[in-house]
Structures are given as structure tokens and as C-alpha cells.
Structure 1
Amino acid sequence: MERGGCILSNGYVPVLNGQRLLLRAISLDDAEALFHCWSHPEVSHWLGTPILSSVTETRELIVRLLELAQENESLRFSIVLPEGTVIGSCGFNNWQLEGAYRGELGCELRPEFWGNGYMSEALRLLLKFGFESMGLNRIEVICHPGNARAAKLFTKLGFTQEGILRQYRHTEAGFQDVAMYSLLNTDGWQN
């Protein structure tokens, strides 16, 4: 894909295949599994968004994410094991090509799958897609400064913490600081 091109041609989202999982376009069929992920207290605590209260709300969120994908404003993948179990999601919350060539990624994984390297594998697939197919030069991630698990993962993948963005987002608890991490295409992310 050329730099600055459209991510989705005719609404098509590629399937990204890993060794133990695949990333495919999020779908309404994933609502129940993603509800259990996104509403889990150990996950929702870090999201900075209102907690989903039902599968119906989750479907509504998925519809909005699919609309944003059609508009090339967001791109969300479900993380799926070979037998079809959806264990989380990841993707680009937003990106800017012309003039910046950067994107911001986000990710969540059901806690019963933590510690098995699934998110590391998923994010490596996403990084490859972002740098090689989307033509990004810089990939960013923001996370709560107290989220040690996420910080360790991003550092392991080669991200550099650039600093703390003070009162960057507003949550139900008020304004919240976030830690900004970045990875450049030239940072050796392929390893």
C-alpha cells in the first residue's frame, strides 16, 4: 500500500495470521465475548471509558467501531484463537497519514488469557500491518501510568515511554494523566 492510501478498500479488513492466533475484523458475533472482556473489572479499570452494562451495549459499540472503520477513522480487530474463541481486541484507535504518518493503538485481553504471550503476538501482527501496509512511521500508545502490566508489554515490544500527558483524558473519576509510548519504524520492531 502506498503511503497515505486508504486502509480499507471496499470495506475489506485483512485477516492477520499469527502462529497461535489471528486478527480479523471485529463483528457483531463477537459481542458476548467482548462484553466479558471489556466489562471485566481487571480490564475496564484501565480503559478510562464507562463500563458496558450489557451485551446489547457492546453490540452498539461494535456498530460504532464498524462505522468508524468504514470512514477510515478507526480499525478494530478481534483476537481469535484457532478454534474460534475471541479472547480480546486490538487495533488503531486513530491515525493520521499525510503530514504525520502516525497511529495510536489500543488493546484489551480477557484476564484468563493473560501471561501466555497472546497480546504480544497480536500486537506484533498489528505493528507489522501498521508499518508495512498502512505506511506508518510512528505508532503510539497511551496507558494509565499505574498499569504496570501494559507498560511492561509495550517496553518488551520496543516502545519508548516519552512522558506523562497531564490530565489528557476525562473519565467518570475526573481528569486522568496517561503515559505516552511510541515506536518508530526505524526502532527495530521486527525482532
Structure 2
Amino acid sequence: MRIPQRLETGRLVIRRYTEDDLEELHQFLNNKDVIGLTDMPSNTSQEETEAFLQMLLKSYYSEEPVAAMAICLKENGKVIGSCGFAAVEFSKNTQIYYALKPDFRNNGYATEAMEKLIEYMILVFDIDRICIYCPPDNIASMNLAKRIGMEQHGTIHVKNMDFKYFLLTREMYLNSN
């Protein structure tokens, strides 16, 4: 699987991280309002962030790349968030994820980014099952899952936590588009 260099929407560019993103990524990973509801590393030192970024950059050219990308405003290139996807160890689903800086929430950016990422995952990678796991108190992410066409399929217990489970199948996506 090859992670795309760049995806574009009307207002966003979703692109691979670069070495120039170190400072932005460090600030992002140390903002508890951004990372609090994700499983991304948090409270990292500058050295830990640099090691994490180097791992991402190397992975893009490996057999098993990490699908983590920066969400940027098209108008000025400013990094406003992160998104990506990963195989789910305990199922045949592929999980998508996103996180936005607080100042850029409630503007439709997450919806726009997730719709583009899903389009790429289904039409290019031929992925059949895409899911989101949301903590029950993350109402915004549950609403986003519904907006992008996912259906709630109950609650799942993972790593001693309960998550609301949302699913979008290839068939559901193709029938709605």
C-alpha cells in the first residue's frame, strides 16, 4: 500500500508529513485539547517528537507504511490537524482517525478531510470496511461519523474502555455516491 503524497479538497490539502513539520507536530502532540481523545503519543519531548516524525517519514517508503498525514489549509499551507488510517488488529476493519487544533473545529474541516480520505481508501486501496471508534463522551466525533455516512453498530470494549463503533462498507459508500 502506498500512502498518497497529497490529496486535495476544496479548502484542504492532506499530505504526508515532512521534516519541516517538526515544530508544528511537537506543539500538536503536546496540546491535551488535541490529543486527549486520541491514542497518539502525548507530552513528548522535542527529541521524542523528532524520533516519531523520523519513524513516520521512513515508514512512507516501507512495505508497511504508517498512514498518518497532515491536514493543511489550501490557502496558506498552515497545518491544522492530522488524519490517517490503520488496520484494526482484532477485526477485518480499517480504522480512520483525525484530530484538529481547537481553533479549526466546527468549520467542516474534519468532515471534508474524512470524506476525501474515505474516497481514496475505497476507490484506490479497495478497502471494504472502514470504521471509527469513539469514546462515548466524544459527541463531535460520533456526529462526524454519521455525517460521513457511517452507521453505528453498538459499543465495543477495547483496552479496558468502551467505544461507540461506527462502520461504513464499500457497498454503503458506492450506493450513496
Question: Does the alignment reach a TM-score above 0.5?
Answer: yes
2:125 corresponds, among 130, 134, 140, to 134
Tell me: CA distance 1:148–1:68, structure 2 relative to 1, closer, same or farther (3 Å). same
Q: State TM-score, norm by structure 2.
A: 0.85
Tell me the distance in 2 between the aligned counterparts of 1:163 and 1:39: 32
State yes or no: 1:183 paired with 2:168. yes
Query: Partner amino acid for 2:68?
Result: R
Q: Is the 8 A contact 1:92 1:105 kept in 2?
A: yes
**Identical-pair percentage:** 27
Pairs within 5 Å for 1:1-191: 7-8=1-2, 13-69=4-60, 70-82=62-74, 83-94=76-87, 102-166=93-157, 168-169=158-159, 175-188=160-173
Deviation of 1:88 after TM superposition, in Å, equals 0.8
Deviation of 1:44 after TM superposition, in Å, equals 2.0
What do residues 1-51 of structure 1 show as CA deviations (whole Å, max 9, x unaligned)?
xxxxxx22xxx6331111001111122321222232232222222124552
Deviation of 1:143 after TM superposition, in Å, equals 2.0
Q: Is the 8 A contact 1:34 1:87 kept in 2?
A: no
Relative contact order (alpha carbons < 8 A, sep ≥ 6): 1 or 2 greater? Answer: 1
Tell me the distance in 2 between the aligned counterparts of 1:48 and 1:176: 12
Tell me the distance in 2 between the aligned counterparts of 1:113 and 1:49: 19
Q: State TM-score, norm by structure 1.
A: 0.80
Tell me the distance in 2 between the aligned counterparts of 1:73 and 1:94: 11
Secondary structure of the equivalent of 1:89? strand
Segments of 5+ residues of structure 1 without an aligned counterpart are: 1-6, 170-174
Tell me the distance in 2 between the aligned counterparts of 1:39 and 1:47: 12
**How many matched pairs?**
173
What do residues 136-188 of structure 1 show as CA deviations (whole Å, max 9, x unaligned)?
1111111212111111111111111212112x02xxxxx32222211112224
